[in-house]
Amino acid sequence: MKPYFLLFFSLSLCTAFSQGHDFPFGQTSYRELEMKIYDNDSNAVAVILNELGEGYIEDDNDYNLIFEYHVRIKILKQEGVKFADIEIPLHKQEGRAETIRSIKASSFTIDNGTMKETRLDSKNIFSENPGKYWDVKKFAIPNVREGSVIEYQYKLESPFKFNFRSWEFQNDIPKIRSEYWATIPANYNYNITLRGMQQLEKHENELIKQCFYQGKADCVRHQFVMTNIPAFKEEEYMTAKSNFLSAINFELAEFRSFDGKVIKYTKEWKDVELDLRREEKFGQQLRKGKDIVDDHVELAMSGESDPLIKAQKIFEFIKGWYQWDGMNGMFSEYGIKKAFSTKKGNVGDINLTLIAALRYAGLSVDPVILSTRSNGLPIEIHPVLSDFNYVMARLTIGDKVYMLDAVDDFTPFGLIPVRCLNGKGRVIGEKESYWTELKPTDKARQISMLTLKLDKDGTMRGTIHYTYYGYEALSKRKEISEFNTQEDYLNDLKNKTHKTRILKSELVNADDLSKPLTEKFEVEIETFEDLNAAHFIFNPFIESLIKTNPFKSKERYYPVDFAVPVDESIIVNLEYPENLELTELPENKALALPNAGGRYVFSIQNMGNKMILNHSLSITRIVYSQDEYHYLKELYSRILQVQNTAVVFKKKN
C-alpha cells in the first residue's frame, strides 16, 4: 500500500548554492503581501511561495555533507503565524554531530502603505538538547502577523553521508513551488526513492566534469521540481505520515575510494545477517543468556518441563524485571549485562534479554526486526537497516508460533502490540533470514450488557457489565494504570457520569492478563421526570457503538488501516412498568461491507413488558483501500442514523 518508486540511477555531488539557481533573499513583492487567500486551497492558513534546497558533499576537510535551505512563506490567517517558529533538528551519534553554519531570517509587512523588513537578531537563536541523539536549533522570526511574508535560509553541515539529505515536497500547508538540487561525486552511488502520490514536474541531470577531490572525479547534478503541491492532510485510521508524504530519499549503496577500494553499503540479506550475528549490540548479546540470567531463569522455570509454560514463566519474569526507558531500538543500548543489573533498558535491551533467556532454556526462538507504525514501512526490495527501529522474539513450540514483546507491562503472552503491527518484520534466523507478516493475534473486542428496570419514578435501576478482550482489554488496563489506584479510577468514573449514578463498582481480572477484564456497576439512571404522560419518546441506545462518524471527508486519499479487527456488541434488557406499552419500535437492520469486510446488526423486540435491544459492529479486515472508503463512510453513517431513532411508550388506559 506504500506509494513509492525507485529511481534507478546513481547520484553524485559537489558545491552548490553559489551556482546561481537560488531565488534572491528579501525580494518579496507587494502582490505577495496583499495576497488574502490561496486560490487552490481557500482553507490554507499559510502557503509556501517558493522553496529551494541543495545538498552536496564538500570538496574540503572531511568531505562532509552540506545542506542549504531557503524558503519564503505567506501567512494567510492568524493560525499560520506558528510557521514563524522554526526548529531545525540536528542529528548526533557516537561523538559526531550535525552543525549549523549560518542562519538568516526576516519578516515582511506593510505598515502605512510601505513595505517593512524586520530581521532576526542572531542573539535570538537558541540551542536545545532534547535527547541523546538530537539537538535542536530554534528561533522565532520577529514581527509576524496575519498577512506577513516570512523568509529564512540556513546552511547545515553533516558527517552522516549514508543517508543523503532527503527532501519532502509535501507539508502541512500547500506549496506553489518546491525544488531540490543534489550534486553527488561519481564515486558515491546512492539509491534514490521517490515516494508519494504527487508527480515530479521536472527532473533533469547535468554532468559536471572534474568537480570533486581536486578534479579527480566528475559529478552528476540532479534537479527535482514540483509545483502546485497540495497540503498533506492526515486522515483517521492511517499509518505513518512518512508512508505517504511525497518525498525524495537517498541511501548510500556503494563508495569507491580513489585507491580502487570499493565499500558496498547496500548489501544482500545474507550479508546483513552475518553482520548482525557479529554485531556487538545485537548478535553478541544473544549469546550472553547463561552469563546474565541463568539463576533467574532456573528460578522462573522452577523445574517446569512443559515448553509453553516454561516460555510463559520466562516471559513474565523478564517483563516484570525490566523498566522500559521509553526508547525504541533493535540494538541493545546499554548491553544486556548492564541493563539487566540496572533493571532498565530500551526495547533492544529488554527483548534481546528475553531471546537470550529463552535460548538458554533450550527453546527455539529468533529475533524479528521491524519498523513501528509511527516509523513507517521498511523497504523490502533490499536491506535498509536504518528503516528498522524495534526487535521482538519469535518463539516456535511444535507447529505454533508466538510473537513476544516484554516491553509493555500490560501486553499478554503472544499479543503483538499495536505499535508493531506494521507490514512485515524480518526474522534473523540462525541460518538465514526471511520476512514474516506482522498480523494481530486477537481482536479489539468489547461486550456491554445492560440489565435495567424502569421504575414508576422515571429512574432506571440495574447493572452494567463491560467485558474487554484482546486489544480492548490491553487498552483499558493501560487507561486504569494511569491512576494511582483502581479506586481512584472508579472514583473518576463516578465524577464523570451525570445522569448515571454509580452505586457499586468492581473490577474483575484487572491484573490477570490471561483473562478478559470486566467492569461491573450497579447504577441508577435518571430518565424521565414524569411517566404519567399519555405518550413519551425514549431513545433506547443508552450505550452507543460509535459517538461520531470518523469518516467525514468527501474523498479518501490513503488506505484506511484499523490495525486490528474490531468486534463490539451492546445488549440492553429493559423491564418497564406494566401500565406502559411499546407502540413503536425501530426497524431491525443488517448491513454488510463488500468482500466480507464487516457487518452491523441491529435488532429490537418487545416481550411482555420487556424490551431487548441488541446491536453489534464487526470490522473483520484490517486494511481498506481508498475505493472501499465510501462503503465504510456509509456504514458508520447508517449506524448513527439507527442510534438516533427512538421507541414510543404509551400509557395503558
Task: Report the residue count for the chain.
Answer: 653
Global pTM reads: 0.86
Q: What's the number of CA atoms in the CB half-sphere (13 Å) around residue 446?
A: 20
Kind plus residue range of the DSSP H or E element containing 290: helix 289-301
User: Which residue shows C-alpha cell 435488532?
Assistant: 603
Looking up cell 526487535, which residue turns up?
A: 391
Would you say 610 and 574 are in contact if contact means Cβ atoms under 8 Å apart? yes
What is the C-alpha separation between 461 and 53, in angstroms, rounded? 67
Give me 109's grid cell: 509587512
- DSSP conformation letters of 74-138: EE-SGGGGGGGEEEEEEEEETTEE-EEEEEEEEEEEEETTEEEEEEPPGGG-EEE--SSSEEEEE
68-72, 270-274, 428-432, 482-486: which is most confident: 68-72
DSSP state of 42: T
Give the HSE-up count for residue 154: Cα atoms under 13 Å, Cβ half-sphere: 19
pLDDT at 1: 42
**Dist CA 49 CA 298 (whole Å):** 66
Q: What is the per-residue pLDDT across 272-282, written as a single tens digit (0 to 9) for each?
A: 999 999 999 99
Q: Of the candidates 13, 100, 91, 11, which has an alpha carbon nearest to the alpha carbon of residue 55?
A: 13
Contact 522/463 with Cβ under 8 angstroms?
yes
Cell numbers representing residue 123 in the block: 542573539
Where residue 495 falls among pLDDT bands split at 50, 70, 90? confident
Q: Are residues 444 and 377 in contact, defined by beta-carbon separation less than 8 angstroms?
A: no
Cβ pair 438, 427 in contact under 8 A = no
Hey, what domains does the chain have and what are their CATH numbers? 4-263 (2.60.40.3140), 270-437 (3.10.620.30), 444-651 (2.60.120.1130)
Residues with Cβ within 8 Å of residue 114, at least 6 apart in sequence: none
pLDDT band at 6 (very low <50, low <70, confident <90, very high): very low
Percent of the chain with pLDDT over 70: 95
Q: How far is CA 467 from CA 448, 494, 609, in A?
A: 6, 19, 27
Work out the burial of residue 273: count CB atoms within 10 Å of its CB; fewer than 13 is exposed, 13-18 middle, 19 or more buried: buried
So what's the pLDDT on residue 256? Answer: 84
Residues 400-420 as b or e (16 or more Cβ within 10 Å = b): eebbbbbbbebbbbbbbbbbb
Question: In Å, how far from its chain's centre is CA 495?
Answer: 32
What is the average pLDDT across 467-496?
Answer: 93
Q: Could you tell me if 428 and 359 are in contact, meaning their C-beta atoms sit under 8 angstroms apart?
A: no
Q: What is the 3-state secondary structure (H, E, C) of 479-529?
A: HHHCCCCHHHHHHHHHHHCCCEEEEEEEEECCCCCCCCEEEEEEEEEECCC
Confidence of residue 529 (pLDDT cuts 50, 70, 90): low
In this prediction, residue 530 has a pLDDT band, given cuts at 50, 70 and 90, of: low
| 383 touches 400 (CB < 8 A) | no
Give me the mean pLDDT over the 501-526 stretch.
93
Question: For cell 461491507, what's the residue?
Answer: 593
Residue 20: per-residue pLDDT: 63
